[in-house]
Structure 1
Amino acid sequence: MNFIIDATVKAIKTLYQTDIDVSAVSLQETRKEFEGQVTIVTFPFTRFSKKSPEQTGAEIGEYLKSELAEVSAFNVIKGFLNISIADAYWVDQLNNVITANDFGIFKPNGKKVMVEYSSPNTNKPLHLGHVRNNLLGYSVAQILAAAGYEVIKANLVNDRGIHICKSMLAWQKFGNGETPESTGMKGDHLVGKYYVIFDKEYKKQIEELKLQGQTEEEAKKNAPLIKEAQEMLLKWEAGDDEVINLWQTMNGWVYAGFEATYHKMGVAFDKYYYESNTYLLGKDIVEEGLEKGVFFKKEDGSVWIDLTDEGLDQKLVLRADGTSVYITQDMGTAQLKYDDYQMDESIYVVGNEQDYHFKVLFLILHKLGKSWAKGLYHLSYGMVDLPSGKMKSREGTVVDADDLIAEMEATAKEQTEALGKVNDFSQHEKEQLYHTIGMGALKYFLLKVDPKKRLLFDPNESVDFQGHTGPFIQYTHARIKSVLSRANVLDIKAKRTELAPEERDLIMLLTQFPVTIKQAATDHNPGAIANYAYEVAKGYNKFYHEHSILQAEDELVRQFRLQLSAACAKVINKAMAMLGILVPERM
């Protein structure tokens, strides 16, 4: 609607001999109870007109109506000028803008962004928290790509450390040579099983030592298992062949398991970083910080940064024995990533429990004078809860991603079969559909809300075909495809002189797709796209129920409504793809 803004600027110049900037013109969507589609707030212009908001609005309205063929009428309610846009304008938007092949696709903007997400530990399977992380990261990457950015999807795998050694040691002691092949278990589940076994045996040893008179803290340090795990980590860091071989073998099992889960989730990566390759990075940055006076050394040789002036505290960046802490590694990895790609922005998709860590990391890099530090962004998100008793993992604690996906497919199957609409589907088609609906329900439910919010996920509620859900939007897409499959859609630009309100509303909504993509990319918020897709689906269903499409009164109207239907399907498809959600052709 830039033409309305430009014309309003000219109106102020002509009527009140005042130059104003386009940013001074505030456009809103007209409220449903008033006539019109676009509203201009006239209060700011009264200081130029020296007249009441109503009179100012009437004068600007008259000017716009006389100057713009697109303006068919206007009305003024207090300080709000409501403008009716001629139906010919909306018809032209459908015929020449919305139906164009490049609608909703931005040209490359020359900017590069990395989105780092997933970041799993190789000692256990992906869980419910990882699901939100992966879906959020992948969707943000898709939205940024649609908005014209070159996107690198990165995964920093935590494949070393004491927790990895716990799984390895437990498998050595209690595994009897088990493998994914011999047990039929996914590799990540098998390794996770031994992490749990370690924990159980470790707790037993702690209790035994406490009975011998040791305190809880003493027992935790002195338990033989933890000492052996620490010894194994030292051997790993020293490059011991036996430990390294076991580590490579068990990590290989885990990666195969992760890949299967990633495939089911529909997420992918362009670049993997491994903590086993990056854990020594950052020490040179510490030296650089000491030279620049950004860091200081304490008497014991440990290196710190003082952030008290920024309202934080003193932060350790290198231990007295010269070993790294997490922040050291993260400084080094941030530099490595920038050296690899020279991106304009680097987004970290990490839960909100790490808010403080990233505030400190970004501040340190900024103080070190890293030019790229201004492009660092922490996409913080809240936890996901399940209704109590709804699902439990094998260990009764966190919910495995694989179990959740299986539960979603089962729920989708149950609800779809209850509707009786898949009787003519082959078994393979049914299984594909249940997976598509189940994952669509899961993804939509997790992505439609602001990432910062903690949310309660209910599988049954998410697979409602009538609610604010993924399956409702998927079903709408299938409905449109069903209509189009029964019609001969001609490649003509069907002109209409008068639109029904539902047709006009739908076209207006479709024109907002590009600006919605741009806003979602700026805010790193898939919820904007999710809720937009829902509004389009809802608007289409209202249009579908109010107006005949295939049995329209004449061929011109029929072709116009078919083209409007096809445009809605295309926009729904593109919007849902940005969320990583497939939309079926039939269901």
Structure 2
Amino acid sequence: MNIEQHITNATIAAVKQLYGQDLPENQVNLQDTRSEFEGQITIVVFPVVRFSKKSPEITATELGEYLVENVKEVISFNVIKGFLNLSIADGYWVNLFNTVLLDSSFGKISPNGKKVMVEYSSPNTNKPLHLGHVRNNLLGYSVAELLKANGYDVFKVNLINDRGIHICKSMLAWQKWGNDETPESSLLKGDHLVGKYYVIFDKEYKKEIEALKAEGQSEDEAKKNAPLIKEAQKMLQDWEAGDEEVIALWKKMNGWVYDGFAVTYKNLGVDFDKYYYESNTYLLGKDSVEEGLSKGVFFKKPDGSVWIDLTADGLDQKLVLRADGTSVYITQDIGTAEKKHEDFNMDDSIYVVGNEQDYHFKVLFLILEKLGKSWAKGLYHLSYGMVDLPSGKMKSREGTVVDADDLIAEMVATAKQKTEILGKVNNFSEEEKDSLYHQIGLGALKYFLLKVEPKKRLLFDPSESIDFQGNTGPFIQYTHARIKSLLSKAGYENSSAVSDVSITTTELDMIILLSKYPAELTAAAKVYSPATLANYLYEVAKMFNKFYHEVPPIVKEEDERAKQHRLNICHVAAGILKSGMAILGIEVPERM
């Protein structure tokens, strides 16, 4: 039984003995004691006052006296208004450290038998991944790893938008102006090459629009009548009709894009268990429409189109099938959700999608519930905000969006520049340097994007993120490397426990913070927020640096028991930083 549960039980017993009342467990409110007060655990006394019929201060004092007398771990207390601060004996924390934190299973949570799917990335195959995709991928990957660490059986999937008019625009432009250019002949990544022709289409299309407007057509008329858009629409119709030539071109250009995406995914360090393709799913959902009509969930309008009325739920009427029988996005998403559940039979499914789709997912989940899908309650939209860059910090190829590959390259280059200035790699081989720069650059990028709550819009400054001080990835990486260097210099070989050892206040603070790791993992997973874990890891790194400077030099410590115990603390801290950062998708160097 952990100390919190022990204190909870003792508090219930105290209220029964002191006041003859049964205090419900959910009304025992424990908090960490604020740093300016003495103690480690605080009981919020206000819920107890209605049982004691006394002032908060008197109630807290009576509870404190009872706990000191009846709980051996509680050695003293102090009262601040309605807050009872308890000091727990050092021996308890040392014993906890030796029996729990030093165990190789610490921080590993047993399987819970539940299956969860995390769908993320979801790119279009007409352009490269950009900064928005970077946040999406890092968030999806880290949430999946966080859930794995909490005992879930996790499936990572990627639904690729590989069909539609936007794909045909790139195909048509390459057909017209490509001169058989390939990734090999152009020395461009495949996704960049296809993106280049998407931009060319847009430029030529705008020229045609302006020409038609000059002839007297309105903006809307010109957009509809431009020859290029008509050709693209014809190509889409041919694709849907199975035209062999169009399908062959589509497969070739999508193949280039997938090869390009694979490189970016590898550089970002993200992966997937299964890919779904819209070209295989876009016809799904029509059976669900028929099912919904038969159940009275949907209704037909006179023109034959099918709708659902969600006004009673605070939403609006939503089209689910056009009059001509073709699907809309919500239809496909209904069908794809059913397909994924058939494939994996998961308990929960998390969609990592930007907040511009908040309304769409409210509608989707509600429709699935109304269709009677028992698993619909397990669907969750992990909504996140946009990422902005300070003006002029980075330029994209097209001047509109920041390319993911350019961003990664800039991060690695900045990491190289800042690390070389500090002179920390003079004895590294070139291969070791390149690996380190990549770890630091990607660590800075990932940590900066993940330390902010997903729902918040954030401003990302590449240079600011690569700082070896403050709440940054490189600071945590450097702290891990510092610990590993210390352990190496001390010749640390095994984590044998040392009992009955006296500890300093800083050592006590360090042990308490480290002991919270499993609870932090659980708290972060509960709210699908890597930010919770990221900021805890920063606190560990910060606390270690305080420990390092305030505790007498460990390597020179003559008392072997004290030395072993402090090295054990270093060992556990390094393990937490390494495993926690790995959940965020960040590597920590052994030296730097």
By the TM > 0.5 criterion, same fold? Answer: yes
- For 1:560, the equivalent position in structure 2 comes to 565
AA aligned opposite 1:317: V
Aligned counterpart for 2:64 among listed residues 55, 61, 65: 61
Query: Within 1, Cα distance between the matches of 2:99 and 2:364?
Result: 48
After TM superposition, the structure 1 = structure 2 runs for residues 402-417 of structure 1, keeping only pairs within 5 Å, are 402-417=405-420
After TM superposition, the structure 1 = structure 2 runs for residues 21-36 of structure 1, keeping only pairs within 5 Å, are 21-36=24-39
- For 2:142, the equivalent position in structure 1 comes to 139
Q: Secondary structure of the residue that 2:37 maps to in structure 1?
A: coil
Deviations for 1:454-505, whole angstroms, at most 9, x for unmatched residues?
1110001100100110000000000000001111324421124432111111
Higher mean Cα deviation, 57-66 or 353-362? 57-66
Question: What's the offset of the Cα at 1:213?
Answer: 1.4
- For 1:580, the equivalent position in structure 2 comes to 585
Question: What's the offset of the Cα at 1:216?
Answer: 0.9
Deviations for 1:372-402, whole angstroms, at most 9, x for unmatched residues?
1101100000000111111111111101000
Q: Secondary structure of the residue that 2:75 maps to in structure 1?
A: strand
Aligned counterpart for 2:445 among listed residues 438, 442, 458: 442
The count of residues paired between Structure 1 and Structure 2 equals: 587
Q: Secondary structure of the residue that 1:114 maps to in structure 2?
A: strand
Query: Within 2, Cα distance between the matches of 1:486 and 1:194?
Result: 57
Higher mean Cα deviation, 533-542 or 496-505? 496-505
- For 1:349, the equivalent position in structure 2 comes to 352
- For 1:130, the equivalent position in structure 2 comes to 133
Q: Is the 8 A contact 1:91 1:495 kept in 2?
A: yes
Q: Is the 8 A contact 2:40 2:86 kept in 1?
A: yes
Q: Secondary structure of the residue that 1:451 maps to in structure 2?
A: coil
**Structure 2 residue 298 is matched with structure 1 residue 334:** no
AA aligned opposite 2:168: C
**Structure 2 residue 192 is matched with structure 1 residue 166:** no
Deviations for 1:484-534, whole angstroms, at most 9, x for unmatched residues?
111132442112443211111111111111111111111000000000000
**Structure 2 residue 204 is matched with structure 1 residue 196:** no
Question: What's the offset of the Cα at 1:553?
Answer: 4.5
Higher mean Cα deviation, 258-267 or 308-317? 308-317
**Structure 2 residue 536 is matched with structure 1 residue 532:** yes
Q: Is the 8 A contact 2:131 2:403 kept in 1?
A: yes
Question: What's the offset of the Cα at 1:46?
Answer: 2.1
- For 1:492, the equivalent position in structure 2 comes to 496
Question: What's the offset of the Cα at 1:570?
Answer: 0.4
Question: What's the offset of the Cα at 1:77?
Answer: 1.9
Q: Is the 8 A contact 1:116 1:155 kept in 2?
A: yes
Question: What's the offset of the Cα at 1:559?
Answer: 0.6
Deviations for 1:333-360, whole angstroms, at most 9, x for unmatched residues?
0010111111111100000000111111
Query: Within 1, Cα distance between the matches of 2:435 and 2:441?
Result: 10
Q: Is the 8 A contact 2:309 2:318 kept in 1?
A: yes
Q: Secondary structure of the residue that 2:87 maps to in structure 1?
A: strand
Query: Within 2, Cα distance between the matches of 1:569 and 1:491?
Result: 13
Aligned sequence identity (%): 71
AA aligned opposite 1:542: K
AA aligned opposite 2:324: D
Structure 1 length normalisation: TM-score? 0.99
AA aligned opposite 1:337: K
Query: Within 1, Cα distance between the matches of 2:558 and 2:90?
Result: 19
Query: Within 2, Cα distance between the matches of 1:217 and 1:115?
Result: 40
Deviations for 1:266-323, whole angstroms, at most 9, x for unmatched residues?
0000010000000000001001111111111001100011111112111100000000
Question: What's the offset of the Cα at 1:59?
Answer: 1.9
**Structure 2 residue 531 is matched with structure 1 residue 514:** no
**Structure 2 residue 279 is matched with structure 1 residue 281:** no
Query: Within 2, Cα distance between the matches of 1:143 and 1:544?
Result: 29
AA aligned opposite 1:500: T
- For 2:236, the equivalent position in structure 1 comes to 233
Query: Within 2, Cα distance between the matches of 1:488 and 1:424?
Result: 21
- For 1:455, the equivalent position in structure 2 comes to 458
Query: Within 1, Cα distance between the matches of 2:129 and 2:208?
Result: 28
- For 2:307, the equivalent position in structure 1 comes to 304
- For 2:297, the equivalent position in structure 1 comes to 294
Q: Secondary structure of the residue that 1:118 maps to in structure 2?
A: coil
Query: Within 2, Cα distance between the matches of 1:153 and 1:67?
Result: 50
Higher mean Cα deviation, 553-562 or 289-298? 553-562
**Structure 2 residue 74 is matched with structure 1 residue 71:** yes
After TM superposition, the structure 1 = structure 2 runs for residues 30-45 of structure 1, keeping only pairs within 5 Å, are 30-45=33-48
Question: What's the offset of the Cα at 1:44?
Answer: 1.7
Q: Is the 8 A contact 1:87 1:497 kept in 2?
A: no
- For 1:464, the equivalent position in structure 2 comes to 467
Q: Is the 8 A contact 1:496 1:557 kept in 2?
A: no
Higher mean Cα deviation, 132-141 or 201-210? 201-210
Query: Within 2, Cα distance between the matches of 1:327 and 1:541?
Result: 52
- For 2:187, the equivalent position in structure 1 comes to 184
Q: Is the 8 A contact 2:15 2:23 kept in 1?
A: yes
Q: Secondary structure of the residue that 2:566 maps to in structure 1?
A: helix
Instruction: Could you tell me which runs of 5 or more consecutive residues in structure 1 were left unpaired when the two chains were aligned.
Output: none
Query: Within 2, Cα distance between the matches of 1:88 and 1:266?
Result: 43
Structure 2 length normalisation: TM-score? 0.98
**Structure 2 residue 220 is matched with structure 1 residue 209:** no
**Structure 2 residue 49 is matched with structure 1 residue 46:** yes
Query: Within 1, Cα distance between the matches of 2:46 and 2:277?
Result: 58
Q: Is the 8 A contact 2:163 2:278 kept in 1?
A: yes
Query: Within 2, Cα distance between the matches of 1:6 and 1:574?
Result: 33
Query: Within 2, Cα distance between the matches of 1:47 and 1:308?
Result: 44
Q: Secondary structure of the residue that 1:477 maps to in structure 2?
A: helix
Distance 1:491 1:388, change over 3 A: closer
Query: Within 2, Cα distance between the matches of 1:41 and 1:325?
Result: 53
Query: Within 1, Cα distance between the matches of 2:307 and 2:46?
Result: 55
Q: Is the 8 A contact 2:351 2:381 kept in 1?
A: yes
**Structure 2 residue 507 is matched with structure 1 residue 503:** yes
Aligned counterpart for 2:527 among listed residues 512, 523, 530: 523
Instruction: Could you tell me which runs of 5 or more consecutive residues in structure 2 were left unpaired when the two chains were aligned.
Output: none
- For 2:89, the equivalent position in structure 1 comes to 86
Q: Is the 8 A contact 2:102 2:495 kept in 1?
A: no
Query: Within 2, Cα distance between the matches of 1:10 and 1:306?
Result: 54
Question: What's the offset of the Cα at 1:243?
Answer: 0.7
Query: Within 2, Cα distance between the matches of 1:154 and 1:560?
Result: 44
Q: Secondary structure of the residue that 1:105 maps to in structure 2?
A: coil
